[in-house]
Amino acid sequence: MNRRCHWFHLEDGDVLIPAGERVDRVFFLLEGELRFPVYTRTGKIVWLPSAHEGSLVNEVALSGDLLAVPYSIEAAGPCTIASIGNRAFLDIIKNDPEALQAIVQMLVERQHSFVEHIVELSTLSVRSRVHSELLRLCVESIDTDGSAMISPIPTHTDLANRIGTHREAVARELSYLQSVGIVLRRAKELFVPDVSRLTDLLSKSDD
């Protein structure tokens, strides 16, 4: 498959596919993070769960009809991507049951993350959504002592867009978390000394 792929890089903010476009290629995210913002008619942004290393992107190209992408696909920092035409990719996986199973598993996990995101927006308070998003950002950097470093720190606006609120609410909650020592700001990083405290706070905040 590698020989049939086109490899390229994106920088922070680069748009891979604008919302509404029909693109007959699928993309593999090899390094970095891709975001999926939905821009509403009123100018608001709704962020769907991001894609991380190893993700397949633009899976709508694998449908029988070439469907439009319902959201924009944008780089959240430097990314390395490989792309392949949808028909070439389908030819490959139809003869490789293990690859096909891996793709199905990936799509199921993506669906679960979207459902989880919708449930959180509908049922959790803003405070709890801040805690939940911070925990997601901690997942890949938890140390053996239970601490984690979030680097770089998302802006208040970025966090607010991800969880469907406004930046002032995010700023207030982060200030509170710093005041009680649950998070500590270090230059462009956010240190979480004990991730379990953040987990406990999330489990109790909506009781």
CA distances from 92 to 14, 88, 95, 98, 140 (A): 29, 6, 6, 11, 31
What is the full per-residue pLDDT of the chain (207 aa) written as tens digits? 667 889 999 999 999 999 999 999 999 999 999 999 988 888 778 888 889 899 999 999 988 778 889 899 999 989 999 999 999 999 988 888 898 898 889 889 888 888 988 888 888 899 999 999 999 889 878 999 999 999 888 889 888 888 888 899 999 999 999 999 999 998 889 999 999 999 998 887 655
What is the layout of strands, in order, in the sheet containing 15-17?
A: 15-17, 73-75, 34-39, 45-51
Domain with CATH 1.10.10.10 in the chain: 125-205
So what's the pLDDT on residue 46?
A: 82
Residues 91, 62 contacting (CB under 8 angstroms): no
So what's the pLDDT on residue 206?
A: 58
So what's the pLDDT on residue 158?
A: 85
So what's the pLDDT on residue 164?
A: 84
Q: What tokens were used for 1?
A: 């498959």
Fold observed for domain 125-205 = Arc Repressor Mutant, subunit A (1.10.10)
pTM above 0.85, yes or no: no
Q: What is the CATH number of domain 2-122?
A: 2.60.120.10
So what's the pLDDT on residue 123?
A: 87
- Whole-angstrom Cα distance, residue 196 to residue 199? 5
Domain with CATH 2.60.120.10 in the chain: 2-122
Whole-angstrom distance between the N-terminal and C-terminal Cα of the chain?
50
So what's the pLDDT on residue 197?
A: 93
